[in-house]
Structure 1
Amino acid sequence: MGEIFSPIEHSRTADEVVQQIERLILEGVLRTGDRLPGERELAQRFEVSRPILRDALKALEARGLLSTRHGGGTQVADVDGQIFAAPVAELMASHRKARADYLEYRREMEGIAAEYAARRITDDDRALFERIMARMEEAHQRGDFRDEAEIDVEFHNAIGECSHNILLLHTLRSCYRLLSDGVFENRLILFSTPGAREQLLDQHRAIHDAIVAANPTAARKAAMEHITFVEQATSEVERTGDWLRVSRLRLQQRIDSDNGVARKSPRKTRKTVSN
């Protein structure tokens, strides 16, 4: 976890511990699922008594920011996943227009986030981007579609984090959570499409290079062009899937017909004319 927790220097109250952990969650330092150190260690880092720490953790848990599992310690609750309630996510998954609106929203928001990241990038942000980009290239070389798709989400999360805008950070995280939950496009299908992986890697590299070089205009342009490509490629995958489905059904129908399995039209009964 590193030295992200600072000693409480003043009154050493539970309120100050609460405020520090709140700030770490709000600023994206602590993320959903991150596990806090054990009670003894955490109390030492804050330089407070264990009763004070327990009061702080209980207050944060009561507000839904932390969760405690028996034998699993204390971890950051799913704060980003709660932005889109399950019923709303299910509605979006079942309506095609929602996907188009989702990508439209991402294109604009990620363009702004990339621009801000390029304007505000720090040396530590650069180090973060370099690590993620290196992992993405390594996964690409291995041909590991699943790992590459997971790093893709991490890459875009990093853009939101490096924008140093709290609202952008959390709204974009909630958007990527919809991807991870499979509400929108199937990223594995996109990454396994011939030629798409190379283009996606080039686009991520262009975004990375522009942000690291502190070029806001290029960063925004690269981010928006990337989402436009995702939109077009996903649409093409869907169209191709429909073509494959229809052609498969058509072939099966012809085979069944040739084998005499197809349903025959009933013969019309001849009307007898009485003399």
Structure 2
Amino acid sequence: MATAIRRSSLTDQATQALMTYITENGLGDGDPLPGTGELAATFEVSVPVIREAIAGLAAIGVLKRQQGRESVVSTPNASHLSRLLSFRVAHAAVDDESIQQFREVVEVGSARLAAANRDEHALAELDRALQDLRGAEGDEALHVADIAFHAALARASSNDMFSLTLDALQPLLHRLRRRVWSGWVDSGGDLVSIVEAHATILEQVRAGDIEGAGKAMADHLAQARHGLENPPRPAAD
């Protein structure tokens, strides 16, 4: 047992050392690392420890291993964070209310920044996303189009943290949207008002109205909260 703990500690230290090495040497996407033997000598650990550290960094997207070649630096994307968040949520019993609260804070800010930083490309993307939302047929297509609109809004904010976080949360947000939509419909809500809420958000973003965009998003999220707090009726036997 003591040997295993020691080995794990060395691997953790080597992992941190590799990350520091990448940063201090300004390595970016596609840049190769030195060979495992050279790295082992540099950090004064064994080659197996370096290999374990590389495997761990590859698992989270920091490195990319290539058959018969040295590992190269990579930039983690939303899928890596998404897997981590999904696992964390599943094991920490994070409920839909917590995810809704997160949306009410983050997406209002995203809309405000989109109004401040939007450009023609971002507005065109939002226009397309809104049209997809208007033309969505069936619940699943609606949820996909809804997520796409909010993702486009995050990109319009020109803040990568919004895009990365919301992209990573897509599986959880998809789950929330299904529940919210069922509650919304069962309590008398309709699709038209949801689509128009998105149209109002886009209108305020296009106008560069920061306060108006934030309010429009808050109003839309109030619709989501209404659906969340009115759970769907159980199906008849």
For normalisation by structure 2, the TM-score amounts to 0.63
Which among 214, 221, 226 is matched to residue 215 of structure 2? Answer: 221
User: For 2:201 and 2:212, how far apart are their aligned partners in 1?
Assistant: 8
Please say if residues 132 and 151 of structure 1, whose CA atoms lie closer than 8 Å, have aligned partners that are also in contact. Answer: yes
Which among 215, 229, 233 is matched to residue 235 of structure 1? Answer: 229
1:115 to 2:116 alignment: no
Written as runs of structure 1 = structure 2, the 5 A alignment for 1:15-164 is 19=28, 21=29, 55=32, 61=58, 64-65=61-62, 78-92=79-93, 98-139=95-136, 143-164=137-158
Please say if residues 117 and 157 of structure 2, whose CA atoms lie closer than 8 Å, have aligned partners that are also in contact. Answer: yes
C-alpha deviations, 1:232-259, integer Å up to 9, x for none?
12221x1x52xx47xx68xxxxxxxxxx
Q: How many pairs are equivalent? A: 184
Q: 3-state DSSP class of the match of 1:84?
A: helix
Structure with greater helix share of residues: 2
Please say if residues 109 and 214 of structure 2, whose CA atoms lie closer than 8 Å, have aligned partners that are also in contact. Answer: yes
Offset of 1:134 from its aligned partner? Answer: 1.4
Residue 226 to residue 68, structure 1, CA distance change in 2 (3 Å): farther
Q: Which runs of 5+ in 2 are unaligned?
A: 1-24, 34-53, 68-73
Please say if residues 67 and 76 of structure 1, whose CA atoms lie closer than 8 Å, have aligned partners that are also in contact. Answer: no
Residue 92 to residue 209, structure 1, CA distance change in 2 (3 Å): farther
Residue 230 to residue 183, structure 1, CA distance change in 2 (3 Å): closer
Identity of aligned pairs, percent? 18
Residue 209 to residue 65, structure 1, CA distance change in 2 (3 Å): farther
User: For 1:66 and 1:190, how far apart are their aligned partners in 2?
Assistant: 43
Q: 3-state DSSP class of the match of 1:81?
A: helix
Q: Which runs of 5+ in 1 are unaligned?
A: 1-14, 22-52, 250-275
User: For 2:185 and 2:122, how far apart are their aligned partners in 1?
Assistant: 30
Counterpart code for 1:115: R
User: For 2:160 and 2:78, how far apart are their aligned partners in 1?
Assistant: 18
For normalisation by structure 1, the TM-score amounts to 0.55
Residue 132 to residue 67, structure 1, CA distance change in 2 (3 Å): farther
Offset of 1:64 from its aligned partner? Answer: 1.2
C-alpha deviations, 1:98-137, integer Å up to 9, x for none?
3223212211211111001100001111111111111111
Q: CA RMSD for the aligned pairs?
A: 3.5
User: For 2:148 and 2:64, how far apart are their aligned partners in 1?
Assistant: 23
Offset of 1:172 from its aligned partner? Answer: 2.7
